[in-house]
Amino acid sequence: MCKHIFYVWEAWFVGDWMKKILLVDDNRTMLLFMEKVLSKRGFDVITANDGMHALQVLEERPDIQFVLSDWMMPEMDGIELCSRVKSANYGRYLFFMLLSGKDDKESIVSGINAGADDFVVKDTHVDELEARIQAGFRTLALHNEITAKNEALDAAYATMKKDLDSAGELLKRLLPTENTMSGVELSYESIPSAQIGGDMLGYMKLDEDHVAIYLLDVAGHGVSSALLSFSVQQSLSVNSGHSSIVKTTLDEPPYYRLNEPHEVLRRLNERYISNDQNLLYFTMVYAVLNIKTGRMDFSIAGHPPLVWMHSRLGDAELVGQESFVIGAFDFVEYETLYIQLEPGDKVWMYSDGITEAEKGDEMFSEEGFRKAVVEVNEQPTTLQTELLVNSVRKWQQAEQFDDDVSVLVVEWKGNPEREQLCDMKLSTKVNARFFK
């Protein structure tokens, strides 16, 4: 499309418009004389006998871009005509040359202030007049070339913006749609700082007893970061077979083994190690929660620490480890840690876009995040991430974030089978009373 626009413009650019001049003068003798002189020099001259007539001709002839106008005319003089066609709301760009019998500093200044591109005295030699007209057409040619290229760039930008908007919508569709799973309740916020971001989060059921939760943050912004986060998400979503990162296939029942979190990070590092063409890397936390026992195994790769909200104590703590990012070095090792949750405990994961939010010289910080978790803890889990992000917006006194922001919280509700068993016992007891 952009090439088509350029070729159309190019064909028009080399056409007759470079010879067209609108000559404006109320003196008929001077009009005929100037028309004859300029026509002999190869110009296509269109005439108008005053300023109002000139405006009408320009309205009817959009191919005219050069105006040579007398100064002194009735109804509308050359100065007013120049001001009209040089105003910001006029439909197109014109090169305007004022023709006057005066050759004084005050007249020249008045013409230039009105927007005139050039000023010529009537007794100027025709050779000089032609040279200055040719210079005016060269200025027009440069303007038209820049305008055409800008239009092509605008069209290309509009296409790119549309594609990025579509890509952003597709990435949103990769985010989880459910906020409850057996034994757990989850909530998240994911806010890219641009049309597409480098953060990605998710959770999935590995088997009847285990749920995997992860959050990653690719360095940088834009298409390359978004594509890497999409690729990692797809790698993690393969839940079976020899290509799975989260499971290892076995020959005996149950025919698989869940890979420990540090193994998952190690395999991701091997798969996405940087090279001379690809210098991207990412931080990540990957956790596996046993929904029956409440044990959460996790491993961190250069990512901010988890925030563990204790339901019984009503307070939260930071839980993490020093480690290397994924994709930067081939010699790193990762470690699996674990925490034992009690029913009602929550674990928060987040990207540094939220903790590095700024207000003046102050950062929100990981400690600020921990305190914010405690403040929203009494609210329903499904609302807590939204409330926390809004509290950071209020703190920084700005709606937008400078970096991608992702926040995820998972609450362990307790052993779902034990709760179901308790419900069955209660139901039996109630029914027995009812039928007694």
Encode 23-79 in three state secondary structure. EECCCHHHHHHHHHHHHHCCCEEEEECCHHHHHHHHHHCCCCCEEEEECCCCCCCHH
C-alpha–C-alpha distance, residues 112 and 109, integer Å: 5
Q: In this structure, what are the phi and psi dihedrals at residue 146, rounded to the nearest 5 degrees?
A: -65, -40
Q: Which domains does the chain have, with CATH numbers?
A: 2-152 (3.40.50.2300), 174-423 (3.60.40.10)
Indicate the SS3 state at residue 229.
Answer: helix
Q: What is the mean pLDDT of residues 18-24?
A: 90
pLDDT at position 174:
75
pLDDT at position 276:
67
CB 407 within 8 A of CB 188: yes
Q: Which of 232, 197, 216 is nearest to 352 (CA)?
A: 216
Q: pLDDT, tens digit, for every residue of 60-106?
A: 999 999 999 998 888 898 889 999 999 888 888 999 999 887 766 77
Could you count the other beta carbons within 10 Å of the beta carbon of residue 340?
10
Q: What is the mean pLDDT of residues 33-62?
A: 94
pLDDT at position 325:
96
pLDDT at position 74:
87
End-to-end C-alpha distance for the chain, whole angstroms: 82
pLDDT at position 5:
38
C-alpha–C-alpha distance, residues 297 and 48, integer Å: 86
Give 177's DSSP letter.
-
C-alpha–C-alpha distance, residues 143 and 132, integer Å: 17
Indicate the SS3 state at residue 193.
Answer: coil
Strands 282-290 and 295-301: antiparallel
Q: pLDDT, tens digit, for every residue of 381-397?
A: 999 999 999 999 999 99
pTM score over 0.75: no
pLDDT at position 103:
64
The answer to whether residue 431 scores a pLDDT higher than 50 is no
pLDDT at position 410:
97
3-state secondary structure 267-286: HHHHHCCCCCCCCCCEEEEE
Q: What is the mean pLDDT of residues 235-260?
A: 92
**Which structure tokens are listed for 38?**
């300029």
pLDDT-derived band at 225 (thresholds 50, 70, 90) equals: confident
Q: What is the mean pLDDT of residues 50-59?
A: 94
pLDDT at position 222:
76
373 vs 174, which has greater pLDDT?
373
